[in-house]
Amino acid sequence: PAGRGGVFKVMLLGESGVGKSALAGAFGGLQDDNAHEPENTEDTYERHIIVDKEEVTLVVYDIWEQGEAGSWLREHCLQTGDAFLIVFSVTDRRSFSRVPETLLRLRAGRPHHDLPIILVGNKSDLAWSREVSLEEGRHLAGMLSCKHIETSAALHHNTRELFEGAVRQIRLRRSRA
């Protein structure tokens, strides 16, 4: 479908230091499936990728930390995103403990939407400093009714899968609408 249907906006949320910019950079490093020139700025990345044989324009925004809690910019993020990646670091329990609050605020701002939200446990490569287990991440996602994935932005492990998953979550909801 033309127009808005073909452009999906994905917002990276989460505490400082969890790897949002590294994930955005990994997305920016993906090859454009339709050979477009990459359109990147410092904090937004646009790619045309093929997911399940269908092309989509995905724009990833790494702007969450430019606003304070409750700021206009954060509200704008929450209101305009088509999907949300709530990132924590598996090596930082504090970042994990902040997830419910972020998610509840997100849902409170858009109460009539079934928002595509993925809980992302990043830095899975740092096995020795892990503070949050895979099971805890899964369990929290189950409690909060969202998806869950572990990634390593450093090793590009599961990063393509993460962004493809976001596309699938958006499509799934649109096909039901």
Which residues contact ligand GDP by CB under 6 A? Answer: 16-22, 122-123, 125-126, 152-154
Least distance to ligand GDP from the beta carbon of 74, Å? 15
Closest contact distance (angstroms) between CB of 159 and ligand GDP is 9
Which does residue 22 bind out of Mg ion, ligand GDP, none, counting CB within 5 to 8 angstroms by kind?
Answer: ligand GDP
The residue whose Cβ lies closest to ligand GDP is: 19
Dihedral over alpha carbons 119, 125, 129, 133 (to 10 degrees): 40
User: Which ranges in 54-150 belong to alpha helices (H)?
Assistant: 72-80, 93-97, 99-109, 134-143
Applying CB under 5 A, does 21 fall inside the site for Mg ion? yes
Q: Select from 18-26, 36-44, 117-125, 165-173 the region that touches Mg ion (CB under 5 A).
A: 18-26
CB of 122 to ligand GDP, least distance (A): 5
- Phi, psi at 35, each rounded to 5°: 55, 30
CA gap 119, 146 in Å, rounded? 7
Query: Which residue's CB is nearer to ligand GDP, number 19 or number 165?
Result: 19
Q: Quick one: which segment of 14-22, 27-35, 38-46, 149-157 binds Mg ion (CB under 5 A)?
A: 14-22
What stretches of 15-163 adopt beta strand conformation (E)? 39-40, 44-51, 54-61, 83-89, 117-122, 147-150
Q: Is 44 in the site for Mg ion (CB under 5 A)?
A: no
Instruction: Break the chain down into helix, strand, coil percent, rounded to 5.
Output: 40, 25, 35
- Exposed (0-12), middle (13-18) or buried (19+): which is 118, by Cβ within 10 Å? buried
- Nearest residue (CB) to ligand GDP, 24 versus 49: 24
Q: In the complex, what is the shortest distance from the CB of residue 105 to ligand GDP, in angstroms, rounded to a whole number?
A: 18
57 scored as a contact of Mg ion (CB under 5 A): no
Token match 């969202």: residue? 146
User: From the CB of 72, what's the least distance to ligand GDP, in Å?
Assistant: 21
- Cα distance between residue 105 and residue 119, in whole Å: 15
Binding site for Mg ion (CB under 5 A): 20-21
